[in-house]
Amino acid sequence: MRNYLEKGDVSELEELAREEYNDGSGNAKNLLNNQSSAAILQRIHRQIGAAKPAKVKLFNIYKLTAAAAVIIVLGSIGFIKREAIINMLYPVNMVQVSTAANEEKTVTFADGTVARMEENSTLSYPEKFTTDTRDVSLKGEAFFKVAKDKKHPFTVHSPLVNTTVVGTEFNVDDKDSVHAKVVVVSGIVKVHTAVNITNQEVRLTPEQGAVFGTDNKLLRKINSPDDARFYKQRRDGIFVYDGVAVAGVIHDIERYYKTTVDVDDTIKDRIFHGSFKTGDSITTVLNVMAISMNAVMQEKKQGYALTSGHSK
């Protein structure tokens, strides 16, 4: 039966099961009776041309007859789905990974897809993908580098939006179930609102984003080149600046290190040339910037500050 379910449409099997159910062999109660269920299953196998198994373990009989019952019940109300039946018969273990405050984790799925989780996030996914789609669930923020597989689309389900791709890189930020944002670094992404909200969808290409808020319930497409650059450089492990205003560099530092940096107005518009690695400490980064601009770095009770120094 598993081969039959995996290879084709179950409509024929559904019809055969319904016929067996309605021919007087039993009702909803005795359908699950061991002897009658096995008899029904054998007749179904004969009619679809399946070879009669020489020996079948008792627990397999229970599984298969239960599947026949589910096919009849679900089919009668129009909810029959091949993947759902396969998952019921051969369940896949689900994995849940969470991050605490100021914690980041990298998760690699069975298909080679990599997710970089930000703090206070939870990611749920199967140990292996066994159906026509690759589905994971996220609450919080994560950057995904999806392994390319055109036959099996990859979908991230988050509280407000669902994001579907084939093979691409993108960031999903859906922390508070009030606002959600998706930004694409490479590839093409489809973002659609969750089923319990509204039916809206946008198609995104690199350096584009989608935002959704529960206040206006509108899914909007936006241009996000700065966000895409930030995610790409964070992914590569190095932030490079070639003639960027200090204010822009400080914005990235605050965002990456999740802190605040107060900067003198006399420094904000200065041009900075340099780089820092994601493994560098924030004090190292700010000290390098201070030296290059003849400024002073100060550590405060909350955050940091860059103030003007004295010219030599």
Over residues 230-273, the pLDDT tens digits come to 999 999 999 999 999 999 999 999 999 999 999 999 999 999 99
pLDDT number for residue 66: 58
8 A C-beta contact, residue 105 and residue 99: yes
Of the candidates 136, 222, 143, 219, the residue with the CA atom closest to the CA atom of residue 185:
143
Report the mean per-residue pLDDT for the chain. Answer: 81
Alpha helices by DSSP H, 120-237? 225-236
For the chain, give the longest Cα–Cα distance.
Answer: 101
**Using an 8 Å Cβ cutoff, are 149 and 167 in contact?**
yes
Pseudo-torsion of CA 269, 275, 281, 286, nearest 10°? -20
Please name the residue ranges forming H helices in the chain.
Answer: 2-7, 11-20, 34-47, 58-76, 82-89, 225-236, 246-257, 265-268, 282-292
pLDDT of residue 296: 93
Say yes or no to pLDDT of 286 above 50.
yes
* Nearest in space to 144 (alpha carbons), one of 178, 179, 187, 102: 187
DSSP alpha helix (H) spans, 90-142 = none
What residue ranges define each of the domains in the chain, with the CATH number in brackets? 2-89 (no CATH), 94-227 (2.60.120.1440), 237-308 (3.55.50.30)
pLDDT in tens, 81-117: 455 555 566 677 899 999 999 899 999 999 999 999 9
**Confidence at residue 308, expressed as pLDDT on a 0 to 100 scale:** 85
pLDDT digits (tens, 9 = 90+) for 124-160: 999 999 999 999 999 999 999 999 999 999 999 999 9
Instruction: Say whether pLDDT at 61 is over 90.
Output: no
Residue-level pLDDT at 25: 46
Cα(166)–Cα(133) distance, integer angstroms: 10
Burial call 156-189: b when 16+ CB within 10 Å, e when fewer? bbbbbbbbbbbbbbbbbbbbeeeebbbbbbbbbb
22 — pLDDT class (breaks 50, 70, 90)? low
Instruction: Specify the pLDDT at position 176.
Output: 83
pLDDT bracket for residue 56 (50, 70, 90): very low
Q: If you search the block for the tokens 């932030």, which residue do you land on? A: 239
